[in-house]
Amino acid sequence: MRVYIPATIAMLRQLLDNGELRALSGTAFALTPALRESYTTGSAEELEYAALLEAARASLRLLGADDAEPARRVVVSADVPDAKPRPDLDHAVVRLPGPVALSMIAALHVDTPDAEDHVRAAAKVVDAADLGDPDAEFTLGDAEDHELSWYATQELPFLLELL
């Protein structure tokens, strides 16, 4: 199953150092049967993209107040055959059985530098947006207007070096 793991730049550094990624609480997102049922239309590609966007939103929650790392949403795409759907949590949520090895990772998706101010602001209000605050939703929308850039796993050292 292709999963989308919310992450941070610091987690990418750990991935490079350790050769594996540990998702917070083992949580990731994927095109699950529940997600497919929640949409009346949409191709598999469109629904996979919806799962990726859910992971990007979740990555906002991982960003702390620490300004040492760039404020960028990070999503790691990986193929994890034993991921278990968790429809009790949300339509796209899956639980990973353990750390994800670098060899299982298909791609990295990371915000570009021009998104940092919007991402930093969105990280502060993501919970309020989820609770329906219209101003917070607007701020979150500013961050979500930025497309994530795609990187191959071989590019990880260079990506981190350029930050």
**Measured distance CA(78)–CA(141) in Å, rounded:** 26
Residue 159 covered by a domain = no
* pLDDT at residue 145 greater than cutoff 80: yes
Domain enclosing residue 97, as ranges: 2-153
Q: Is residue 161 assigned to a domain?
A: no
DSSP 3-state of 117? helix
Per-residue pLDDT, 87: 84
Residues 98-124 pLDDT 10s = 999 999 999 999 999 999 999 999 999
Which comes out higher in pLDDT, residue 42 or 12?
Answer: 12
Instruction: Please report whether residue 158 resides in a domain.
Output: no
Q: How confident is the model at residue 41 (pLDDT cuts 50, 70, 90)?
A: confident
Has residue 48 been placed in a domain?
Answer: yes
In a domain, 132, yes or no: yes
Task: Please give the model's pTM, rounded to 2 decimal places.
Answer: 0.93
Q: Around 71, how many Cα atoms within 13 Å sit in the side-chain half-sphere?
A: 21
Left, alpha or beta for 54 (phi > 0: left; psi -120 to 50: alpha)? alpha
Q: Looking at the domain assignment, is residue 163 inside a domain?
A: no
Residue 46 lies in a domain: yes
Q: Can you read off the two tokens belonging to residue 77?
A: 């795409």
Structural domain includes residue 127? yes
75 contacts 55 by C-beta, under 8 angstroms:
yes
pLDDT at 123: 93
For residue 65, the model assigns a pLDDT of: 53
Mean pLDDT of 23-30: 94
- pLDDT tens digit sequence for 1-17: 999 999 999 999 999 99
Residue 66 reports pLDDT greater than 70: no
Q: Is the pLDDT of residue 68 over 80?
A: no
Into how many domains does the chain fold? 1
